[in-house]
């Protein structure tokens, strides 16, 4: 049975079904507009990939994204210093590693993740290596390069890290390690790996 809704302003009648369709269409348009408006920054080398959908170019491929909501698959990790869900860690020291298989024609790979340090620790003794090469030491650049960006996310030890590597080969190996006596604890979250093929 179709209910009718009278409109005194126009003298016509709209069915409830059409009213619901119109409201749903407006809500969907607002949602899409919000995601586009708050979408990722397009500044080259910007490690922040949050606040909306990540839009990939035609030559980019999402190899992996992990927010650890369902655990940490295939990570070789040190023994956790405590129990937390939704992140990898926390760890007091030791290393965590993972290998990512890349598409055969990968010309460049970008790795991004959130790093959180606790207890006021500033990262002394923490290093990040990609394919066996150190790229970050003590939360500063191991090598002067425009392909590594570390950005403060908040005043409580949160950082966004972005690393790019040209001609990575068939796989990418990511390793984070804290030396003995480094700091209180650390953890990582929102790890993404994006491979790019050569532009045609």
CATH annotation of 60-197:
2.60.120.200
Q: What is the pLDDT of residues 4-23, one digit of tens each?
A: 544 455 556 656 687 888 88
**What does the mean pLDDT of the chain come to?**
79
Residue, of 51 and 14, whose pLDDT is higher: 14
Reported pTM: 0.71
Q: Is 50 exposed, middle or buried (0-12, 13-18, 19+ CB in 10 A)?
A: middle
CA–CA distance, 91 with 83 (Å, rounded to integer): 10
CA–CA distance, 30 with 115 (Å, rounded to integer): 32
pLDDT of 139 reads 81
| Structural domain boundaries in the chain | 4-37, 60-197
Local structure of 30: helix, strand or coil? helix
86 Cβ contact list (under 8 Å, min separation 6): 67, 68, 69, 189
Q: What is the pLDDT of residues 98-154, one digit of tens each?
A: 999 999 899 999 999 999 998 888 888 899 999 998 999 888 776 656 788 888 777
Q: Are 183 and 90 in contact (CB under 8 A)?
A: no
């Amino acid at each position: 049975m179709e209910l009718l809704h009278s409109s005194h302003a126009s003298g016509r009648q709209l069915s409830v079904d059409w009213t619901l369709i119109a409201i749903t269409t407006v809500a969907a348009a607002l949602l899409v507009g919000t995601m586009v408006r708050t979408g990722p920054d397009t500044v080259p080398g910007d490690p922040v990939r949050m606040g909306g959908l990540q839009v990939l170019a035609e030559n980019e491929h999402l190899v992996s994204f992990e927010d650890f909501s369902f655990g940490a698959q295939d990570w070789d990790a040190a023994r956790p210093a405590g129990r937390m869900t939704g992140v990898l860690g926390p760890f007091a020291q030791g290393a965590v590693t993972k290998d990512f298989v890349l598409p055969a024609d990968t010309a460049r790979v970008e790795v991004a993740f959130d790093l959180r340090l606790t207890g006021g620790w500033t990262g002394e003794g923490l290093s990040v290596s990609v394919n066996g090469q150190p790229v970050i030491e003590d939360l500063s650049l191991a090598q002067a390069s425009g392909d590594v960006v570390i950005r403060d996310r908040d005043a409580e030890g949160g950082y966004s890290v972005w690393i790019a590597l040209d001609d990575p080969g068939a796989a990418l190996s990511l390793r984070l390690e804290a030396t003995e006596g480094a700091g209180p604890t650390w953890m990582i979250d929102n790890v993404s790996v994006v491979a790019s093929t050569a532009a045609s």
